[in-house]
Amino acid sequence: MFNLNKTIPTPKLWSKKKSQQRRSPFFFLSLFLLSLIFLFFLTFTSIPKSLFSSSSSKTTALSLQFPHCEIRISGEKFLWYAPHSGFSNQLSEFKNALLMAGILNRTLIIPPILSHHAIALGSCPKFRVQSPKEIRVSVWDHVIELITSGRRRAVLCAVEKGEGEEKLERGVRKECRARNRGTFPSLRYVSMADIIDISSVLSSSHVRAIDFRVFVSLWCGLDLDLACSKEPNTQPTYLVDSLKQCGSLLSGVDGNIDRCLFAVDDDCRTTVWTYGNDEADGALDSFQPNEQLKKKKKISYVRRRRDVYKTLGPGSKADSATVLAFGTLFTAPYKGSELYIDIQKAPRDSNIQSLIKKIKFLPFVPEIISAGKQFAVQTVKAPFLCAQLRLLDGQFKNHWEATFSGLKQKLDSLSQTGSRPIHVFVMTDLPRGNWTGNYLGDLAKDSTNFKLYFMNEEDSLVMETAKKLALAGHGLRFGSSLGGIESTDTVAKLQKHCAPHILPDILLFIEETICSCGSLGFFGTAGSTIADNIEIMRKFSSCSDQREDHKMM
């Protein structure tokens, strides 16, 4: 039984002192360690994170901040660029893109054909151009519009034909008018590879390619087929936001991102790209802004010649990025130099030298070549002259007299040596309703001496060829071999859900093919890139050499 009244003796003083003496070393050591931990915690935030981060933690942080940077196609590096202006300029840039992709050993992202004049560059000779970042943003926005708004614009153009164009938005109205007069506006998504046959280039060189739609679906992690399968105004908000975010990243709006994106911001104002020549890298180009332009525009640009392989290839900061994004890749001869790319030969690199030769002429796909031949053989049925007359667009509307005078001289020469009537295929942007009162109207009335031929987009040959191209889907074939099963599934879904709501406008391409078949010669509008393209086709005997065994329709 407990005695609650029992007094408990107080411990002796010597015992307490002895206990304190035994604990004091441990006590002070613990206090010291706690102080160190507290001090480290306070200063940790000021220490650079790179001192503690491993490569795996960097990758994790990068994926969280920029989820699109996560590499979904293992081992591949890509090249993207921003085309502009009309089809002929876009084709020229496409050739340069194939060349750059070959030199830098990157997979080329194949763009669509942009609407005629939807994207403008400016003037390199005047040093007045959109910056690479600006043009990349504009191209991204337009391409996404082509993917998501093709159905809406098709309906609007149908309305325009029936009720008048005053009810249409200004931009759509411009495209519909262009469509009706024969210039090419992509009212729906048409890949460059749907129109241009690049199979021989890819099969016989080290160049690889992937369709833009396949790339966006894989790299951005989006079900892009969802954008195709819904009306533009009913697409999920998250899809629209994700496309904007991915486009902002890919356009370089957020700047360069290690191992993810390198945006090339050097344009024709400062740079001429070269490859493998003997000149010093960074040497001054022969074309520079003159003093008058410097003072008038208050510019201080200096154009230097830079080796693209040394600047953007192995060992460079750009080489580690999954995506290398250029602005425009357009170039042209100017005052003894080139505006942006001067790679005419590669004597030290046989593979690139072979690629340079191959891309000088890229033929249309067999369906277009066949249609052009068929028109020449079954409709004209005689030797003919092709007259390409660009009369309404830009500077050409001010040169009717010179253009008609040149055509008249050509026909007068044929009249003196050949039989009559002279067969003439007319390729022009001037509607036939406006031929009255000019030289074209005179030719049309002179049926004794001349027989004119022309095409319309409603012609059965054009419509049937467009259907064949839509079913063929050449563009989506590029990329199914990349990324394994995921890539193959993506292509299958895009083929199923992104089938065209309207047929592609291919009138221009068939007309160019017909012109390449003109055995009496060719008259082209001076300064027209369309005329230049036809001349190349004729030089490489496009009409006679391309796929003779392809069946006529």
Least confident piece of the model among 160-174, 180-194, 324-338: 160-174
3-state secondary structure of 117: coil
CA distance 96 to 343: 9
At 183, the pLDDT band (50, 70, 90 cuts) reads very low
Report pLDDT digits (tens) over 323-356: 999 999 999 999 999 999 999 999 889 999 999 9
CB 426 within 8 A of CB 389: yes
How would you list the strands of the sheet with 521-524, edge to edge? 450-453, 422-428, 384-389, 521-524
**Token digits for 430?**
């001037």
pLDDT of residue 145: 85
Residues 291 and 71: their CA atoms lie apart, in Å, by: 48
pLDDT at position 519 is 94
227 in Cβ contact with 493 (< 8 Å): no
- Taken in order of first residue, the domains within the chain and their CATH numbers are 78-159+169-360 (no CATH), 366-457+505-540 (3.40.50.11350)
Please tell me which residue, 143 or 186, carries the higher pLDDT value: 143
The strand ranges marked E within 111-179 are: 122-123, 128-129
In the prediction, which pLDDT does 98 show? 97
pLDDT value, residue 321: 94
The answer, yes or no, to whether residue 109 has pLDDT greater than 90, is yes
Residue 111 has pLDDT above 90, yes or no: yes
- pLDDT > 90 fraction of the chain, expressed in percent and rounded: 54
Task: Judge whether 374 and 386 are in contact, CB under 8 Å.
Answer: no
Strand boundaries in 24-105, DSSP class E: 78-80
Q: What token pair was written down for 247?
A: 């486009």
CA distance 228 to 241: 16
The band of 483, judged by pLDDT with boundaries at 50, 70 and 90, is low
The pair of three-digit structure tokens given for residue 52, joined into one six-digit string: 């503690």
Across the range 257-262, mean pLDDT stands at 91
What average pLDDT does this structure show over 29-34? Answer: 64
Q: How confident is the model at residue 490 (pLDDT cuts 50, 70, 90)?
A: low
Does residue 379 register a pLDDT over 70?
Answer: yes
Q: What is the mean pLDDT of residues 228-251?
A: 74
Determine the average pLDDT of the residues in 308-334. Answer: 96
Answering whether pTM is above 0.85, one says no
Q: What average pLDDT does the chain have?
A: 80
Model pLDDT, residue 205: 72
Is residue 553 very low, low, confident or very high in pLDDT (cuts 50, 70, 90)? very low
Is residue 237 over pLDDT 60?
yes
**Residue 377 binned pLDDT confidence (cut-offs 50, 70, 90):** very high
* Phi, psi of 442, rounded to the nearest 5 degrees: -65, -40
Report residue 70's pLDDT band, with 50, 70 and 90 as the boundaries: low
Residue 372: strand, helix, or coil: helix
Do residues 103 and 348 touch, judged by C-beta distance below 8 A? no
Least confident stretch, 183-187, 383-387, 392-396, 529-533: 183-187
- d(Cα 386, Cα 425) in Å, to the nearest integer? 5
For 322, the enclosing helix (H) or strand (E) is none
State mean pLDDT over 269-284.
Answer: 94
For 465-481, the pLDDT digits (tens) are 999 998 888 988 876 55
Least confident of 86-100, 175-189, 201-215: 175-189
pLDDT digit string, tens, across residues 46-64: 434 333 333 344 444 444 5
pLDDT of residue 293: 87
Sequence-distant (6+) residues with CB within 8 A of 40 are: none
| Angle between the N-to-C axes of helices 460-472 and 507-516, in degrees from 0 to 180, rounded to the nearest 10 | 110
- Range from 290-304, 312-326, 363-377 carrying the lowest mean pLDDT: 290-304
Mean pLDDT of all residues in 121-150? 90
Q: Are 482 and 76 in contact (CB under 8 A)?
A: yes
Least confident of 390-394, 425-429, 453-457, 501-505: 501-505
